[in-house]
Structure 1
Amino acid sequence: MTAARHPLEADLFLLLATLAAAAGWIFSKEALAGLPPLLFVGSRFLLAGVALAVFGWPQLRVLGRRGWRGALMVGALFALAMAFWISGLQHARHIGEGAFIASLGVVLVPLVGRLFFGERPPRMVWVSMPLALVGFACLSLEHGFRVEPGQWFFVAAAAVFAVLINLNGRVVHDVPALALSTVQVTTVGVLMLPLSAALETWPGAVQAPVLGWLLGSALFATTLRFFAQLHGQSLTTPSHAAVILMLEPMWTALAAAWWFGERMGALQFFGCTLIFSALVLSRWRVVRDVLRMLAGR
């Protein structure tokens, strides 16, 4: 049965993946109330890695040395991105805003490809980049011209994610998706926990609600998210999947507004709108193809 015969199933699984990712922001912020950031992210991803390994073991068993080397390399880069991300979340005063800043990684992908791999980016990149920068400036100007620490960490995470996406398409393009996800996620846990032990003071006891948020982050926002995303992507084209996955910052902002009562000022809302517009424009060919496909149904 071909992917084309499952458009609704693909959309539902990809939508579930974006919702799980958005929930991960809320779960993680709650867990940080009782766990140091590196300990939390290391525990979260090690638990998720073990869960993924149970299902990905057949692929892992036949993974060659080259595949392991590439997967571990991008896994280490993923760990760096997550270290920046969790630091940004720890300092974030507005989670919805942070989600839009972190999504800048997609906008930066063509620029990183040009700088490091000599690729010629699409013309639309030169429209999306200024929009993204103006959007970020609007977020920084909400309380006067001041870039907060959390915003810097999210920008750093976005930059590393842009490099990671480029490498994923080159270094590990022949590694099965589930095996790659398992190695990447597990690598984050393996690297973060020793670093946490060296730099952070671990709590003597962890309250049950915090453990619940940790388990939710590991099993729902990471394990289930990866399963849903991989399955959804297997049922449709990469371009169609990319459009749906771009919804994550919107769901995150809505979830933060519902759970934490966050509200955006006019300048914040305008800045997030510009960043989302840049996100769409940076993938305009993909968006255009999907819109044409939907119009032709």
Structure 2
Amino acid sequence: MSNTTKADLLMVLVTLLAAVSWIFSKEAVMQMPPLLFMGIRFLMAGGLLALVGWRLMRTLTADQCKRAVMVGLVFGIAMSFWVTGLHRGTHVGEGAFLTSLAVVLVPVIGKLVFRETPPASTWLALPVAVAGLALLSLEHGFRPEAGQFYFVLAAAIFALYFSMNTQAANTQTLTTRDGAVQQREKVPVIALTAMVLLTVGVFTSVLSWLLEPWAPTFQSFSLELAGWVVASAVIGTAARFFVQTWAQSLSNHSHGVVILVIEPVWVALFAAGWFGETMSLQQLGGCALIFTALLVNRWGAVRKLLKTWL
């Protein structure tokens, strides 16, 4: 088996780990404040990865630490909206498709914030994604649920996070106002991931301390709840990011990221099996349109992936 094939199979595993994390997280936030859950989850996951990448973390410069923390703060804001949507939303599968809009929005954010040139497929994918969003939010007239609003807001901020994370993980060549050229060293992947997860953990913990009551959770804390929190931190966060990093180290081909678009499909299937969720025809149509938009937006990589497999 070639390294490229191994990388693709590992990416499929990443989507499964990410999808099952939705189930763990939903179970946890039904029993404890959502932001407190995020704080504990990400501090645990970040701590595990920090142990793995401690030697690299000790070598980080002040600039690298600053960039990693900034990425973590943006990710923390996005995750705060996401977990609030998960807590207040009524349909996990639908939420997964709404959150996946981030993939379509990444090139748009790149153009607006970093002056990057998005591919033509982005402009084809956007109206398809908007049509899918409309079907989901207009099922009962123009009365979108609070959970839907938080998921879409999280998707927009996730897009900014993805762009910033890519910038931090790669060496950048900058030109100053006086014409001088400067190099900004990339942040090693394991160190970057650990720093980002720890920053999210600290940010959401502080936010929870300010906004949520902690006493009831600790008074009624159970082994079942502890199991969901640990599973989410170890399996859905630390293991997921570790496997994704491993997969990316096996292949230089960028088409592996296309496999990640199947995550909402797994989430919908798991939610149907675990929570007994069902979708109306209109909801299915909306999710199908969003999934189509994801494929259109990544069509160049999809075509390469199909050629590799066939």
Q: Tell me what 2:221 maps to.
A: 206
Question: For 1:232 and 1:245, how far apart are their aligned partners in 2?
Answer: 12
CA contact (8 A) 1:239 1:287 kept: no
Question: For 2:123 and 2:246, how far apart are their aligned partners in 1?
Answer: 33
Partner deviation per Cα, 1:75-119 (whole Å, 9 max, x = no partner): 010100100000010011110000000000010011111222222
Residue from 186, 190, 197 that aligns with 1:185: 197
Offset at residue 205 of structure 1 (A): 2.9
Q: Tell me what 2:22 maps to.
A: 25
SS of the residue corresponding to residue 246 of structure 1 reads helix
Q: Tell me what 2:40 maps to.
A: 43
Gaps of 5+ in 1: none
Q: Given the two structures, how large is their TM-score scaled by the length of structure 2?
A: 0.91
Matched, 1:77 2:92: no
CA contact (8 A) 1:88 1:154 kept: yes
Gaps of 5+ in 2: 171-185
**Would you say how many aligned residue pairs link Structure 1 and Structure 2?**
292
Of all paired residues, the percent bearing the same amino acid is 48
SS of the residue corresponding to residue 141 of structure 2 reads coil
Q: Tell me what 2:90 maps to.
A: 93
C-alpha RMSD of matched pairs (Å): 1.3
CA contact (8 A) 1:42 1:190 kept: yes
Q: Tell me what 1:9 maps to.
A: 6
Matched, 1:142 2:139: yes
Question: For 2:188 and 2:115, how far apart are their aligned partners in 1?
Answer: 26
After TM superposition, list the pairs within 5 Å mapping 1:42-61 onto structure 2: 42-61=39-58
CA contact (8 A) 1:22 1:255 kept: yes
Offset at residue 240 of structure 1 (A): 2.4
Q: Given the two structures, how large is their TM-score scaled by the length of structure 1?
A: 0.95
Partner deviation per Cα, 1:7-50 (whole Å, 9 max, x = no partner): 33222221111111101110000001221011000000001111
Question: For 1:238 and 1:85, how far apart are their aligned partners in 2?
Answer: 30
Question: For 1:118 and 1:72, how far apart are their aligned partners in 2?
Answer: 22
Question: For 2:7 and 2:113, how far apart are their aligned partners in 1?
Answer: 33
Q: Tell me what 2:114 maps to.
A: 117
Residue from 194, 203, 206 that aligns with 1:194: 206
CA contact (8 A) 2:30 2:87 kept: no
Q: Tell me what 2:307 maps to.
A: 292
Residue from 252, 258, 274 that aligns with 2:267: 252
Of 94-103 and 160-169, deviating more is 160-169
Question: For 1:219 and 1:201, how far apart are their aligned partners in 2?
Answer: 25
CA contact (8 A) 2:169 2:189 kept: no
Question: For 2:272 and 2:220, how far apart are their aligned partners in 1?
Answer: 30
Which amino acid in 1 is paired with 2:201? G
Offset at residue 59 of structure 1 (A): 1.3
Question: For 2:246 and 2:84, how far apart are their aligned partners in 1?
Answer: 30
Of 166-175 and 84-93, deviating more is 166-175
Q: Tell me what 2:187 maps to.
A: 175
Partner deviation per Cα, 1:124-154 (whole Å, 9 max, x = no partner): 1111000000000000122232211101101
CA contact (8 A) 1:70 1:172 kept: no
CA contact (8 A) 2:53 2:191 kept: yes
Which amino acid in 2 is paired with 1:226? F
Partner deviation per Cα, 1:229-269 (whole Å, 9 max, x = no partner): 11011112342221111111111111001100111110100
Question: For 2:253 and 2:40, how far apart are their aligned partners in 1?
Answer: 31
